[in-house]
Amino acid sequence: MNRAPLRRVAADVRRGRGGARGEADAAIRRHEASDLNAYIAFDAGALRRQADAIDAAAGRGDDPGPLAGVTVSVKDLYALDGYPLYAGTKRALPAWPEGFLVASLRRLGAIFAGKTHTVEFAFGGVGLNPNTGTPVNPWDPVEHRAPGGSSAGAGVSLWEGSARIALGTDTGGSIRIPASATGVVGLRPTTGRWPTTGVVPLSPSLDTVGMLAHTVEDLRYAFRAIDSLARTGDAPADPVPEGVSGLRIGVPASRLWADADSAIAAVVEGALEELRAAGADVLDIEAPELDEAAERYLTGPIVQPEFVEFLQRELPDWIPLLDPIIGTRLEAAGGVPALEYIAAHQHRRRLSADLHDRLDAERIDLLAAPTLPISPPPLATLARLDAYRKANRAMLSGTCPASMLDMCAISLPAGLDGEGMPVGLQLMGPSGTDLELLARAAAVERVLGTNLTRLGMPPRVAR
């Protein structure tokens, strides 16, 4: 698998060396040789045509852009020209126009491999989808394990080698969960940093659009290019990570740690000890807001009513078709009183303000915790609805607090657990500090290593 940095890939293409077609052909070969089921639709012909257009532009002396020839997989929650939009459901939705993130990537020279699987309407953290299929987590050579959701095919497409960037969405953790479960890097930008246009909504109050990649440095490079299109005026200076010396990392006293399996907590603790040895200040901190935010998210007074309102208004004919995994969890959503919904928003804003004040007062740069408290479960153990619900709640519990508190957050590989599955280290930054978070995460990655050096190759990819 060619793991050249995105910056180098794009630079070669921009020099007119015909590199985009080579990238496309390599992605197609890897996809055709894979049995990981990352995609609901993959169009080799369209990918080659996009690549040829990029190479032709570079050959004329035009600059195709800073992401020229970079292959991108797109979660089937995004509108993508030339592809139907199912959003994980049993039939195609009405036509939607492409939105900010896809349009930005086109403008920057990226080429699109296809649409990856998502949980139905993105409503779930396990990654299971009985309608369109569930991608295979490449880290278990025998059992079909959960790939993490709701961006279920995103991390899998990266290991397949058919994409260098994977687009996901993150409402309660749907980028960070599959990043952790499959051993890649996933970023949830601050809520509202980028427009969510062209994406089927789950919860407009909490939805974000973002990306997964193999390394933090690749994410930093792509994020910077996209962010320059989203923001008006002079672009802010890109923070330069000088290393982790003096970085103040808070370890919160919360259920994010208490509820994590001991083997998983030990892996993340080990990673933090490596950072401490490299000069970071790893500090215990009280953060009761994280637990309160998680409970508010998981009891559903915000996400479920917003999702049901969207379905009733825009897609009422899809409601009877919902799989029971989704439908039964929405039965009580219509009964949430308006006052409870408003109070939930007011409460989460107070919690966010309180936590941000504490981080500022104690000069905490980042909060750290396991991304997932459990190992990605085998699908065979989730056949009963109660087992699925328990696993789904657990997989969301580590990531939803940052979402509720409007923080930016990233998951990067910390090691393997006792079952040989990846463990994610989640770093949460204050609202609006996306560039700083990426710079600090890049410094962390230089200490811990990338996923290849930290984890090795997944068994289903290395064979």
pLDDT tens-place string over residues 353-387: 999 999 999 999 999 999 999 999 999 999 999 99
Distances (CA, A) of 410 to 93, 136, 367, 441: 31, 23, 11, 8
Length in residues, the chain: 463
- Residues 353, 357, 363, 367: is their CA dihedral positive or negative? negative
The pLDDT, as a whole number, for residue 463 is: 59
CB count in 10 Å sphere of residue 154: 37
| pLDDT at residue 375, as a whole number | 98
Q: State mean pLDDT over 209-214.
A: 98
Specify whether 174 is catalytic: yes
DSSP strands (E only) in 398-458 = 408-416, 422-429
User: Which residue is it, tokens 């403008």?
Assistant: 107
Q: Which of 34, 75, 115, 411 is catalytic?
A: 75
Mean pLDDT of the region 2-11:
92
Asked whether the predicted pLDDT for residue 232 surpasses 80, the reply is no
Determine whether 75 is an active site residue: yes
Q: Is 179 helix (H, G, I), strand (E, B) or coil?
A: helix
pLDDT digits (tens, 9 = 90+) for 298-336: 998 999 999 999 999 999 999 999 998 888 878 777 778
The mean of the pLDDT values for the chain is: 95
- Provide the 3-class DSSP secondary structure of residue 251: strand
Residue corresponding to tokens 């390394």: 215
Instruction: State the average pLDDT over residues 49-75.
Output: 97
CA quadruple 105, 109, 110, 111: dihedral positive or negative? Answer: positive
Q: pLDDT at position 248, please?
A: 97
Neighbours of 160 (CB within 10 A): 29
CA dist list (Å): 93 to 38, 55, 78, 82, 198: 20, 34, 11, 14, 13
How many Å apart are CA 154 and CA 278, to the nearest integer?
32
Q: What is the pLDDT of residue 235?
A: 63
Please report, for residues 10, 38, 61, 157, 460, the alpha-carbon distance to residue 33 in angstroms, rounded to integers and kept in the order given.
25, 12, 35, 12, 12
Question: Residues 215-224: pLDDT tens digits?
Answer: 999 999 999 9
pLDDT of 336 reads 83
The per-residue pLDDT for range 381-407, each reduced to its tens digit, is 999 999 999 999 999 999 999 999 999
How does pLDDT run across 413-461, given as a tens digit for each residue? 999 999 999 999 999 999 999 999 999 999 999 999 999 999 999 999 9
Question: Bridge-partner residues for 407, per DSSP?
Answer: none
- Set 104, 150, 151, 203: catalytic member: 150
Q: What is the pLDDT of residue 234?
A: 60
| Arithmetic mean of pLDDT, 32-55 | 98
Q: Residue 281: which pLDDT band, with cuts at 50, 70 and 90?
A: very high
Query: Is residue 351 very low, low, confident or very high in pLDDT (cuts 50, 70, 90)?
Result: very high
Residue 86 vs residues 11, 83, 211, 303, 383: alpha-carbon distances, Å: 35, 9, 20, 20, 24
Is residue 203's pLDDT more than 70?
yes
Average pLDDT over residues 158-166: 98
For residues 208-213, average pLDDT: 98
Answer whether residue 239 shows pLDDT above 80: no
- Res 48 pLDDT > 80: yes
pLDDT at residue 241 tops 70: no
- State the catalytic residue, choosing from 174, 180, 203, 411: 174
Confidence of residue 17 (pLDDT cuts 50, 70, 90): confident
Supply 374's token pair: 């459990």
Handedness of CA 201, 406, 129, 179 (dihedral sign): positive
pLDDT of 89-144, one tens digit each?
Answer: 999 999 999 999 999 999 999 999 999 999 999 999 999 999 999 999 999 999 99
Residue 111, CA atoms < 13 Å, CB-side half-sphere: 34
